[in-house]
Amino acid sequence: MSLRRRLFLPLAWMRRQIRASEFALIALAVAIGSAAGLGTVIVAALARTVQHWMFALPVGQRLSETAALGWPQLAILPLGGAVLAIFSLGVRSRQRRMVDAVEANALHGGRMSVSDSLVVSGQTVISNGFGASVGLEAAYAQIGSVIASVSGATLQLRRSDLRNLVGAGAGASIAAAFGAPLTGAFYAFEIVIGAYTPSAIAPIAAAAISAVFVSQLFGAQPYVIDSFATLPPESHHYLLYAGLGGVCALLGIALMRLVALAEQGSRKIPLPDWTRPILGGALLMPIAYWSPQVLSSGHGALHMDIAVGASLGFVALVFVAKVSASIVSLGFGYRGGLFFASLFLGTLVGHLFAGVLDLIAGYPVVDPHNAAMVGMAALAVAVVGGPMTMAMLVLEATQDFALTGAVLAAALVSSTIVRETFGYSFSTWRLHLRGETIKSARDIGWIRSLTVDTMMRRETRATDSAISIADFRHRFPLGATSRVVLVDADERYAGIVQTPAAYAEGLDAAAPIGTVAINGDAALAIDMDIAGVMKRFDASGADELAVLDADRHVVGILSESYVRRRYAEELEKAQSDLFGER
C-alpha cells in the first residue's frame, strides 16, 4: 500500500466521524483550541522578548508602563520600521492579498493560507516588539484561525463546519490572550462567524476553554482588573452610561476614519513605499518621549491609569497622544490592530466622562473606575464590534456582575450608532477601502461563486438583425422558439426578439427585424455574481437577458426565473448550514 493511501484512510475515517458525530467535531475543536492557546503564548513571548531586548526593560515590566525613555531608546522606533520594511520586502513576491479570519469566513468559506498567516503574524510581532502603537490581537486571531482552517481543509469538512472551526480557532486565541473563555466564545460568534449558530456553540466553547487551559499551563496570566469602585452603579446611571456609549461610538468612527486618511496621506508622500514605517517610527519618537504610555498595545498603561488617579488635563493629553500614536502606526504601515488600543482609549474616555459630570454637577455622579470600564467596552465595541464580547471581557476581567448591565447598555448603544451611521468595524472598514463590500463575517462567498458563467445557457444560435421581418417569420415559425438573439454585421449583440412580437399586426414585413428587438442596452457580463444579476433584471424589467463577453459578442442567455430559483436554492442551503442541519 502506498504512503499516500496510508495517509488517506485515517483522514477519510476522521472525516466520516466528524460529519456523523458532534462529539467528534467537539474533540477536533478541543485540539484546535489547545494549539491556538499554545500559538498565542508563543506570539506573546516573541513580542515581549523583542521589547525587553530592544528597550532593556526590567523583568516583568511592560513597555507602556515605563516612566520615561531617552532619545537613544526612542531611536528603536524607526529602527523597527526598517526591520519591518526589510521583512516585508522579503515577502513582497507574494501577489495575492493576505486574508484574515473575517474575510476568509465571509468570502472564502473559511479557507486561509499558512504562509500568508505567518507573514501577518511576523509583521505584527515586529511592529509590536519594536514599540509601535499596535496590539498583538490580530496575530493571535490569525494563528488560531489558520490552524483551524488548515485542519478543516485537510479533513475536507463541509463549508459550514469549516467556518465554525475558523471562528473557534480565532476565538480560542482571544480567550487565551485574555484568560477569558466567554470573551473568546462571543468573539468567535460576533466577529468571526457573524451570527450565533446553535451547531457551533459546543465546539467554540470547548475550543475557548481548552485554549485558556493550555495558555495558563504555559504561564500566561489571566487578564484581571482590580475593582476600585466606591459608588455602585444605580438604575439612573444606565442612562448616563448610554450617553457614554454614544460618545464612544462617535470617537470610534472618527478614529477609524483618521487611520484611513493617514494611510492614504502616507501613500502620497513622494518616497518609496518601504520607507513608510521608518518615517512612521520617526514621527512616533516625540509622542513617545512625552508619554511612553502610547507605545505597544498599552496593557501596562491601562492598569496604571486605572490604579493611579490623574487630573482630567493629563488624561486628555494621554488620550490625544495614544490616538495620534495609533493613527501614525497604522497609517504608516505597521501591522496590527486597534483591539487593545480601543480598550485603553475607552478607559481614558470613561475617566474624562466621569470627571466632566463631576465638574458640571459639583459632586461625584458616577464612579470614575466604573465609567472607565464602561468606556473601555463601549469604545472597543465601536472599533472592533461585538457588544457581548466586550461585556463578557469586562465581566471576566473585573468579576463585577453589578457593572455588567451598565456595560452592556453602553455597548449596545455604541454598536447601534456605529452600525446605523457608519456600518463597519475596523477590520471590515479596511476591507471596504480595499474595494470589498462586506460589513461582517456573514458568509457571502456562495453569492460571489454563483456567477453568470455557472448559470447561463450557452447561446450558439444568433441571427443577423438586418434580415427582414418576413425572412425572420420564415426562419422562425410561431411555436418554434420563444425568443431569438440578434447580432449586427460585426457579430455584436443587437437585442432580443420575442418571436410572437414579429407576428404582430401592422408590422412592415420588409423592415429589419432589429426594429422590434428589445433589451439592446441591457445585458449581463459573464463574471457578474448573482446579486448583480438580480439587480440588472430588476432595473431592466426583462424576463431574459443575453450574456456578453468584453467585445459584446453573445456567449449565452439567462432567464430571471432560473436566477431566482438558483438564489432560493442556495439561500436555503446556507440557512440549513447556519442552523446546524448535520
More confident residue, 145 or 66: 145
Beta strands in 139-189 (DSSP E): none
Please state, for a pLDDT cut of 90, what percent of the chain lies above it: 37
Domain span including residue 530: 446-573
Q: Is pLDDT of 6 > 80?
A: no
pLDDT at 95: 53
More confident residue, 154 or 279: 279
How sure is the predictor about 67, in pLDDT bands with cuts at 50, 70 and 90? Answer: confident
More confident residue, 5 or 281: 281
Distance CA 423, CA 82 (A): 35
Co-location of 507 and 406 in the same domain: no
The CATH number of the domain where 555 resides is what?
3.10.580.10
Q: Residues 488, 552: contact at Cβ < 8 Å?
A: no
pLDDT at 42: 95
Distance CA 440, CA 384 (A): 11
- Residue 230 domain-assigned? no
* SS3 letters across 30-85: HHHHHHHHHHHHHHHHHHHHHHHHHHCCCCCCCHHHCCCCCHHHHCHHHHHHHHHH
Of 195, 189, 100, 84, residue with least CA distance to 134: 84
Model pTM score: 0.81
- 250 Cβ neighbours under 8 A, 6+ residues apart: 417
Co-location of 156 and 270 in the same domain: no
Checking 502-509 for CB contacts under 8 A at 24+ apart, the result is 502/469, 502/472, 502/473, 502/476, 503/473, 503/478, 507/469, 508/469, 509/468, 509/469, 509/470, 509/473
Co-location of 450 and 429 in the same domain: no
What single-letter DSSP state applies at residue 365? -
How sure is the predictor about 402, in pLDDT bands with cuts at 50, 70 and 90? Answer: confident
Which 3 state secondary structure label does DSSP give 544? strand
* SS3 letters across 317-365: HHHHHHHHHHHHHHHCCCCCECHHHHHHHHHHHHHHHHHHHHHHHCCCC
Q: Residues 36, 176: contact at Cβ < 8 Å?
A: yes
Q: Residues 544, 560: contact at Cβ < 8 Å?
A: yes
The CATH number of the domain where 158 resides is what?
1.10.3080.10
* SS3 letters across 417-482: HHHHHCCCCHHHHHHHHCCCCCCCCCCCHHHHHCEHHHHCEECCCEEECCCEHHHHHHHCCCCCCC
Secondary element (H or E) of residue 484: strand 483-487
For the chain, the first-to-last Cα distance in angstroms comes to 33
pLDDT at 443: 54
Q: Is pLDDT of 465 > 90?
A: no
- Residue 81 domain-assigned? yes
Once rounded to an integer, what is the mean pLDDT over residues 18-36?
88
- Residue 2 domain-assigned? no
pLDDT at 228: 65
Q: Is pLDDT of 285 > 90?
A: yes
Of the three residues 169, 191, 223, the one that is the final residue of a domain is: 223
Cell readout for 165 is 472551526
- Residue 134 domain-assigned? yes
Co-location of 426 and 460 in the same domain: no
pLDDT at 483: 83
Co-location of 53 and 198 in the same domain: yes
Co-location of 405 and 283 in the same domain: yes
Q: Is pLDDT of 579 > 50?
A: no
Of the three residues 385, 412, 433, the one that is the final residue of a domain is: 433
Count of Cβ atoms closer than 10 Å to residue 479 Cβ: 8
Co-location of 199 and 267 in the same domain: no
Most confident range, picked from 22-31, 58-67, 222-231, 441-450: 22-31
Co-location of 249 and 380 in the same domain: yes
- 459 Cβ neighbours under 8 A, 6+ residues apart: 485, 546, 547, 554, 555, 556, 557
- 45 Cβ neighbours under 8 A, 6+ residues apart: none
- Residue 70 domain-assigned? yes
More confident residue, 480 or 217: 217
Of 338, 337, 336, 334, residue with least CA distance to 82: 334
Question: Can you state the angle between helices 312-331 and 237-267, rounded to 10 degrees?
Answer: 40
Co-location of 113 and 218 in the same domain: yes
Co-location of 253 and 398 in the same domain: yes
How sure is the predictor about 446, in pLDDT bands with cuts at 50, 70 and 90? Answer: low
State the average pLDDT for the chain: 84
Beta strands in 354-417 (DSSP E): none
More confident residue, 500 or 232: 500
Distance CA 142, CA 118 (A): 8
Once rounded to an integer, what is the mean pLDDT over residues 434-442?
62
For β-strands 462-464 and 493-498, DSSP reports them as: unpaired
Q: Residues 184, 200: contact at Cβ < 8 Å?
A: no
- Residue 129 domain-assigned? yes
Of the three residues 374, 404, 433, the one that is the final residue of a domain is: 433
Co-location of 352 and 304 in the same domain: yes
Q: Is pLDDT of 531 > 90?
A: no
Count of Cβ atoms closer than 10 Å to residue 351 Cβ: 25
Counting the structural domains of the chain, the total is 3
What single-letter DSSP state applies at residue 179? T
342-392 residue pLDDT tens: 999 999 999 999 999 988 888 888 888 889 999 999 999 999 988 999 999
Distance CA 113, CA 171 (A): 18
- In which region does residue 311 sit, left (phi positive, over 0), alpha (psi from -120 to 50) or beta (all else)? beta
Residue 337 bridge partners (DSSP):
135
Co-location of 195 and 262 in the same domain: no
Once rounded to an integer, what is the mean pLDDT over residues 108-130?
89
pLDDT at 3: 44
Q: Residues 271, 66: contact at Cβ < 8 Å?
A: no
- Residue 411 domain-assigned? yes
290-324 residue pLDDT tens: 888 888 887 767 766 555 567 788 888 989 999 99
Of 286, 248, 281, 285, residue with least CA distance to 371: 248
What single-letter DSSP state applies at residue 337? B
Distance CA 464, CA 485 (A): 9
More confident residue, 93 or 407: 407
Distance CA 464, CA 467 (A): 6
- Residue 578 domain-assigned? no
pLDDT at 440: 59
CA atoms within 13 A on the CB side of 341: 34
91-103 residue pLDDT tens: 765 555 678 888 8
Report the sign of the C-alpha dihedral through residues 101, 103, 108, 114, in that order. negative
- 6 Cβ neighbours under 8 A, 6+ residues apart: none
pLDDT at 230: 65
pLDDT at 7: 47
More confident residue, 37 or 66: 37
